[in-house]
A and B are shown apart, each in its own frame.
Chain A
Amino acid sequence: VSYKDLRGMKDDEFVDILEERRCSSDLGHAFRTFNPQPYKGGPPCSAADLNKALLDSHFLHRVVKEVAMETGSSQEKVMEEAGEILVEMSHNLHLPFIRLMGYTFSKVIKRLFTSIFVNMDGLNTLQQAVQENPVILMPNHRSYVDFLIISYILFTYDIPVPVIAAGVPLAEMKIVGEILRRSGAFFIRRSIGSDKLYWAVLSEYVRGIVRHGFAPVEFYVEGLRSRTLKSLTPKLGMMQMVLEPYFKGEVFDITLVPISISYDRVLEESLLARELLGVPKPKESTAGLLKASRVLQEDYGSMQVNFGQPLSVRKLCEGKINRSYYNLVPRDLPMKPSAEALACVSWLAHVVVGLQERGSLISPWSLMACLLIQEPTTVLAEQGLLWDDLTEKTLWLRKMVLDFGARLNWPGEAPNSAVMSSAISLHRSIVYLKAGRVYLTQEEVPLRRHRISPEEGVFRTAVPVLMLAAYRNQSLHALVRPAMLAMSICITRSTQRDELFRFFCFLQEVFANEFIFIPGNLSQDFEEACLCLNSCGAVYISEQEVRVSEQSSEVITFLQKLLQPFIDSYQLIFRCVCEEEQVQVFTEKQFLAAVRALALKLILSGELHTYETLSSDTQKNVLSALCRLEAVAKSEINEFKVNKAAVRRITDALCKSRQGSITIFNYNYSVSSIIQVQLQLH
């Protein structure tokens, strides 16, 4: 199958960068003349210069003095500590290592992927942008493969390779850590907490790189790899450090480049599903990496890297921030950012995540996953789904998402049926096609085990279901707004714009951790949802009303069912924390275990239809949502206290007028009772 003509991507010229790698020498590529256009803002600055400037900075000296005063140790000692932190943290970008990395990378990715599509116009604008202002590359993070792909592409196209923010565990990997460091990675501890010195070194280090501007900074604004392939709520710490030089006027402007990386198939798919089900993530280690080399044997389809339009922070912040806030204090005084600045940082981070979503390409498989996951799991596992039904519906969905303005990665040359069946065969770890029906793939039971418990059975089914859910999530960004409107229509049974908008806002508030929306953008989101549904003929819109059209039931039902797993999971968990009698306070661990046990039970009894409640991601999101909505209070020692009345109010609002859909709440399951059961078991 040739992936050359990518429908929905007509405006951009996507080029398969592997094509050239397959017909010319990788060694030649690794030793190519690397000659990027220089940065106009100043001369290059070596890693050593950068470190020296940091250790000499007035800022650091101020903080060192403060820390020494607070801890009672000598300044020299604190300074030494700062030096050690820096050693652990700092990158050591060396061109020869980029070449080595490039060579290895060429070898590996050619094995893994059939093609890597990159939009050339994005690269061209980036090439211009890196000469003008400091550039921040902001890719989404869906796989470990993301980590060096940007450097690899930039190296190939003569653009300065970035320094990349990475987690300290990567640095601790033998050899690999050092290679990454020399390829431009710098390492940040996972939990910094209130370690003042660490914050100071880190923030000044990052600001230093941005101020010098000669190398782009790459970091994941989502903070982590998304285990659900859904965007995560952006983390603001790094974003703030990166933006501060602009707020303080130390640079004229900063350019943000959202980058959307999409995969046909994610390397870590089953690992991620297992992690969500509570199997701990293996610690990053070189040995583990080598063991994982069996993943290299498999086919992962293609990968798409879409470089977004560069964003000028200056333009975006116009009217949002008063930079003279910093005028009356010394430049290098450690200073809390203004509330205005924090709001601006958060807004920008959300804007970038939004653009990452809009820039990512939806694969045929993801559309199929949207449909497959709406089937009852037992049906999918036992009777299977008619292939023809699936293909027909997929094409229907394709038209719909195109109407919604999504970017699709649908190969245009091959017949549609071939595209879809190749997607199925690429994902045989999740579903397989047999005799005209599609079935859920389940791990084979090891022979020596005679019997598996029903719980284990659920677990075995849950793995492919959660994988399926993850691939569905790849399309969610295109569907979530109209889906929330559809849900609002179904729940409120209203046609009044105001009322729908109110409920739409409520849903957005409740699901703020599931779906990333730009703060303060609600009316536009609602407007977009209306236009989407209107574009596919599902609703008529007028000044006052949003009225469902007669022939629209299919669209509305599909969209409603798309969100149903989230609604069901949230309701279950709300009820779970509410029903509780004795235990007023619980830890996150207790909460997760209780919810899991309850969900397991209800799935077994056939009362809960979605396996997504089992996902620790969903569970944690509900907990954050409750905290955000002030229905649960988190104490200083990380214990949670429930305000039941508040939770009930949210539950009621969420299920208002949805009679008869879920009745599980008649059962008196509660966190406390389940915790007690568990304690007895152990």
Chain B
Amino acid sequence: MTICIPLGVPVPHFGNLGAKSFTNNLSGHFCTQHYESPCLSFNRHEVMKWNGWGYSDSRFLFNKKGQAEFTGKRYKLSGMILPALKDWFEGTFGASLQHKSPATPLLNTSAVQAPTLNQDFVEELKSIGVPFSHEAEDRAFRGHGHCLHEIFALREGKIGRVPDMVVWPNCHNDVEKIVALACKHNVCLIPYGGGTSVSSALECPPEETRSIVSLDTSQMNRILWIDEKNLTAHVEAGIIGQDLERLLNESGYCTGHEPDSMEFSSLGGWVSTRASGMKKNIYGNIEDLVVHIKMVTPQGVIEKSCQGPRMSTGPDIHHFILGSEGTLGVVTEVTMKIRPVPEYQKYGSVVFPNFEQGVACLREVAKQRCAPASIRLMDNEQFMFGHALKPQVSSIFTSFLDGLKKFYITKFKGFDPSRLCVATLLFEGNREKVLQHEKQVYDIAAKFGGLAAGEDNGQRGYMLTFVIAYLRDLGMDYYVIAESFETSVPWDRVLDVCRNVKARVVRECKDKGVQFSPLSSCRVTQTYDAGACVYFYFAFNYRGLSDPVHVYEQVEHAAREEILANGGSLSHHHGVGKLRKEWMRETVSEVGVGMLQSVKDYVDPKNIFGNRNLL
């Protein structure tokens, strides 16, 4: 067994959302072009799956020989064979390649309800020249996020309430016009960025009787200016993460904000959900990165008058916007901090004899405030999972080395393979400092029994993030459903939360009649001075269950109850949406909910932004 999470790194030119077809006008300050008809990027579903994760050309499958492979050319893992995955998959879930549960291949447009259109609104929209559509595909694509129940329903060809039309504003001014029209005609607006929500935030409230318009920000994807003196960039909020980084890189800069969904999620989405990036230790989370936000609300535009780095002007109005989840308005433009692209990057990994030691090490690293750009600790189950994703080894030498490593760790060092766990690291900065930093962290790790386990393993470990969602689709082809959820928790409760939530998932599955013990796994993905962010995965084989989605929802609900009972938060960065609304009151107190409600009542008295998230 080697200590690695062998996944592909996305190939260097991984941006391909159609954004390429736009001229990214780095010096332009205003919208210069209006698109009269939808072009490629208006129809993301041509490059992306309509009922699963990511690009249409990239997916896992079991080939005729029963070996797993990853298709396409976009990722380093693309085109590779993963010989160990089948055994792991069958062994972990009691699943079988004989038992398939394939998805409905094509969207049945007749299953999509006819749109409820507000004719006056449509007429006036035409007159201002903003492109829109009420095609079934366009609407269905924007009626969901990526929660399990949403994808599961789509795979079965079931389409619930979806937006009645989609509009594509091209700039801030377009948004102002659309919002004004919506207010005038009492139309419900739901902002849509990257569509990667995992909180049911994009679901149309079934009780909504007005016409629902999805406001797709994808055309607002320009970097309007870069200010090298202040190291800021002013960007339209519809830009997708990977495009933002790529374009900034061309000028020698980056934001450093890399949430796991950055291939598809948008800047506006990050702001309105309080997103967190993998490298927040250096660059900060989204709230640390934004300098200025412009948002269009039914009451008008909200923004600050200057770009001062900090202000004492009452409660920070940005914090009404950050995490508002599309309930108050549309974020149109954001000024963000940028940094020069780091001179040097280095991955790393450490193996610990057990999870407890690993957590103790992360805590010490946080205490000494020497966390690298990223430090993540996977539990034993994820370590095993990573092992199963190891591509076919090409040389005998590599496999010999792997064998040697395994021998060293389990026999020579006496690590129990069923308890050990691995931390992956990413260092950034100038070369000298990185090496110095690296030594410091490895020294701390050694105090907790950690053994350095190589750069490759670390690098591959980070790529688990990009393909995990693709793997869920593979599972769903074979009666296995999976979901992830996250929380933040004080240091002294990290182990308790991890243990209890994992155990709760196992027990709930058993109680709910799940035949085969589920995969229940976690990792610590972020460290803070006073606590950590913990990410959970759970997956189970649903053969024999009459209503698997209901069972899954009960398990997830129980797991969240467990988190809250153990001192974890309702969410670290996924947000509340509609999925976790029921716990808002106990989370922020009665008065807290009242405060938020009064802001909503003032800003949007007619509930134009009627996605009903959060409150």
Chain A residues within an 8 Å CB radius of B493: 249, 331
B496 contacts A by Cβ under 8 Å: yes
Chain B residues within an 8 Å CB radius of A330: 492
Chain A residues within an 8 Å CB radius of B564: 324
Name the segment of B289-297, B499-507, B538-546 touching the other chain.
B499-507
Measured CA separation A253–B496 after assembly (Å): 11
B565 contacts A by Cβ under 8 Å: yes
A327 touches B503 (CB 8 A): no
A250 contacts B by Cβ under 8 Å: yes
A324 touches B567 (CB 8 A): yes
B565 touches A323 (CB 8 A): yes
> Helix, strand, loop or mixed for chain B's interface?
helix
How many chain A residues touch the partner (CB < 8 A)?
A: 13
B565 touches A324 (CB 8 A): yes
Chain B residues within an 8 Å CB radius of A324: 564-565, 567, 586
Using A330-B492, A331-B492 as known contacts, say yes or no to A252 and B499 having CB atoms under 8 A apart. Answer: yes
Residue of B nearest to A327 (CB): B567
> Helix, strand, loop or mixed for chain A's interface?
loop
For the complex formed, measure the closest distance between the CB of A92 and the CB atoms of chain B, giving whole angstroms: 25
Chain A residues within an 8 Å CB radius of B503: 252-253
For the complex formed, measure the closest distance between the CB of B463 and the CB atoms of chain A, giving whole angstroms: 32
Measured CA separation A249–B566 after assembly (Å): 6
Measured CA separation A662–B604 after assembly (Å): 81
A558 contacts B by Cβ under 8 Å: no
In chain A between 249 and 264, which residues have their CB closer than 8 angstroms to a CB of chain B?
A: 249-250, 252-253
B492 touches A252 (CB 8 A): no
In chain B between 537 and 568, which residues have their CB closer than 8 angstroms to a CB of chain A?
A: 564-567
Chain B residues within an 8 Å CB radius of A253: 503
B567 touches A252 (CB 8 A): no
How many chain B residues touch the partner (CB < 8 A)?
A: 13
A326 contacts B by Cβ under 8 Å: yes
Chain B residues within an 8 Å CB radius of A332: 492
A249 touches B492 (CB 8 A): no
A323 touches B492 (CB 8 A): no
Chain B residues within an 8 Å CB radius of A323: 565-566
Residue of A nearest to B353 (CB): A43
A252 touches B565 (CB 8 A): no
Measured CA separation A331–B499 after assembly (Å): 16
Measured CA separation A249–B497 after assembly (Å): 8
Measured CA separation A324–B497 after assembly (Å): 12
Chain A residues within an 8 Å CB radius of B499: 252
Residue of A nearest to B492 (CB): A331
Chain A residues within an 8 Å CB radius of B567: 249, 324, 326-327
Residue of B nearest to A58 (CB): B492
Residue of B nearest to A326 (CB): B567
Residue of B nearest to A245 (CB): B496
Chain B residues within an 8 Å CB radius of A331: 492-493
Measured CA separation A248–B566 after assembly (Å): 7
For the complex formed, measure the closest distance between the CB of A245 and the CB atoms of chain B, giving whole angstroms: 10
Measured CA separation A327–B490 after assembly (Å): 9
Chain B residues within an 8 Å CB radius of A248: 496
Chain A residues within an 8 Å CB radius of B565: 249, 322-324
For the complex formed, measure the closest distance between the CB of A250 and the CB atoms of chain B, giving whole angstroms: 6
Chain A residues within an 8 Å CB radius of B586: 324
For the complex formed, measure the closest distance between the CB of B367 and the CB atoms of chain A, giving whole angstroms: 15
For the complex formed, measure the closest distance between the CB of A416 and the CB atoms of chain B, giving whole angstroms: 46
Residue of B nearest to A133 (CB): B503
Measured CA separation A327–B567 after assembly (Å): 5
Measured CA separation A326–B566 after assembly (Å): 8
For the complex formed, measure the closest distance between the CB of B40 and the CB atoms of chain A, giving whole angstroms: 50
Chain B residues within an 8 Å CB radius of A322: 565
In chain A between 316 and 363, which residues have their CB closer than 8 angstroms to a CB of chain B?
A: 322-324, 326-327, 330-332
Chain B residues within an 8 Å CB radius of A249: 493, 496-497, 500, 565-567
A250 touches B492 (CB 8 A): no
Measured CA separation A327–B503 after assembly (Å): 20
In chain B between 489 and 520, which residues have their CB closer than 8 angstroms to a CB of chain A?
A: 492-493, 496-497, 499-500, 503-504
Which residues of B are at the interface with A, using a C-beta cutoff of 8 A? 492-493, 496-497, 499-500, 503-504, 564-567, 586
Which residues of A are at the interface with B, using a C-beta cutoff of 8 A? 248-250, 252-253, 322-324, 326-327, 330-332
Return 22 A-B CB contacts under 8 Å, by A number: A249-B493, A249-B496, A249-B497, A249-B500, A249-B565, A249-B566, A250-B496, A252-B500, A252-B503, A253-B503, A322-B565, A323-B565, A323-B566, A324-B564, A324-B565, A324-B567, A324-B586, A326-B567, A327-B567, A330-B492, A331-B492, A332-B492
Nearest 5 pairs of A and B residues by beta carbon: A252-B503, A323-B565, A249-B566, A327-B567, A331-B492
Q: A249-B566, A327-B567 are in contact. List 11 more A-B contacts (CB 8 A).
A: A249-B497, A249-B500, A252-B499, A252-B503, A252-B504, A253-B503, A323-B566, A324-B565, A324-B567, A326-B567, A332-B492
